[in-house]
């Protein structure tokens, strides 16, 4: 059986293999963290539709279930780190001087993903995912029956109706 197989006992067999594994994880986790942070703090300004996060067809499905901005940013952020990661895993592999960015892989991945994601959303915003204030899943009692406001319906004169007035919201 030829080739290299990644198994847990080989990862923790030495300190250098464990550090290489952890640094390789940072190449992928830093951009993911930055995309999530930029989306929540900058793009959405901390205003999200919480019930929609759990819906299969909620507003955060994007077009066809794919957020192209996040995918583009992820690829742009990991690409410069891949040669350095390949060299770290296989030191005999020559990748030139581009492997130096791998030394700051987390800082590069996080910073580049954060900035590029904000820029893409500034020029091509996903307006269908923006809400004016946070919508939370709050329960109200109507004639002794619990009614959950999920941002899709509102209360008017004790009856559940389609959106005609603003839903019960929490200001976070």
157 pLDDT band, cuts 50/70/90, is very low
How much is the pLDDT for 11? Answer: 63
Is 107's pLDDT higher than 60?
yes
- pTM given for the model: 0.72
Distances in whole angstroms, Cα of residue 59 to Cα of each of 46, 77, 118 = 16, 26, 19
CA-based nearest residue to 40, from 120, 111, 107, 117: 117
Please tell me the distance from the alpha carbon of residue 30 to that of residue 112, in angstroms, as a whole number: 10
Q: What is the pLDDT of residues 33-49, one digit of tens each?
A: 999 999 999 999 999 88
């Amino acid at each position: 059986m030829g080739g290299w197989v990644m198994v847990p006992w080989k990862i923790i067999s030495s300190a250098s293999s464990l550090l290489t594994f952890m640094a390789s994880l940072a190449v992928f986790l830093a951009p993911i963290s930055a995309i999530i942070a930029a989306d929540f703090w900058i793009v959405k300004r901390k205003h999200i539709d919480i019930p929609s996060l759990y819906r299969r067809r909620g507003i955060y499905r994007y077009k066809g279930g794919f957020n192209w901005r996040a995918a583009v940013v992820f690829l742009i952020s990991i690409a410069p780190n891949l040669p350095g990661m390949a060299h770290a895993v296989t030191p005999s592999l020559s990748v030139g001087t581009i492997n130096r960015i791998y030394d700051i892989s987390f800082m590069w991945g996080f910073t580049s993903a954060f900035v590029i994601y904000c820029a893409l959303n500034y020029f091509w915003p996903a307006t269908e995912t923006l809400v004016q204030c946070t919508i939370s899943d709050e329960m109200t009692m109507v004639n002794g029956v619990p009614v959950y406001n999920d941002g899709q319906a509102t209360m008017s004169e004790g009856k559940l109706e389609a959106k005609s007035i603003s839903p019960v919201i929490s200001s976070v």
